[in-house]
Amino acid sequence: MKKIIFLIILILTGCGFVFAELSPEYMLNRINNSEIKTAAKIKSVKTIQSKKGYKIQLVKFEGLYENEGKIFEAKCHNYTEEPPVASSIGEPRRYIPQKNSKVFVTIDKNGGEITSMVNMDESFEKRLQKSPKKIKYDCNGAYFEE
């Protein structure tokens, strides 16, 4: 009986961690605490692990503007099929890095995990160059208020 109770507690604790990762508050906290927050150009994308329905990619970024010439690396996890966990509070983050794309990326630490990545259009890029301190973050990444 004790083993069954222990197993139930272990499963419920694991589910709690999965749902915590999906919550907007958790994602915003990860973004705000990221060491790297920069505009960058994607230099390369390499799949370093692939399993059925899932892959891990290593993305190399070259910083732009104040970080021009600096190189950053980060991993991203992508489901190639429907993710195993879906809930009313969200899905696992999916980033689809494309070589030569300009993005605004947040990375927990160099060599770590991408915490957010948004493609930069011309408007975003102009606003970033003009007023970099006005950038804001939500659970999806960087943005400027209209």
Phi-psi map region of 141: left, alpha, beta (phi>0 left; psi -120 to 50 alpha): left
The residues spanned by each domain of the chain are 2-143
DSSP H or E stretch at residue 5: helix 2-22
Answer yes or no: is pLDDT of 5 > 90: no
For 55-105, how does the pLDDT look when each residue is reduced to its tens digit (9 = 90+)? 999 999 999 999 999 999 999 988 777 655 554 444 456 788 999 999 999
Q: To the nearest 10°, report the CA torsion of 53, 54, 59, 65.
A: 80
At 2 the pLDDT is 57
Q: Among candidates 72, 27, 77, 31, which has minimal Cα distance to 50?
A: 77
pLDDT bin (cut points 50, 70, 90) of residue 8 is low
- The CATH number of the structural domain formed by 2-143 is 2.40.50
At 12 the pLDDT is 46
Do residues 28 and 11 lie in contact, with contact meaning Cβ atoms separated by under 8 Å?
no
More confident residue, 118 or 17: 118
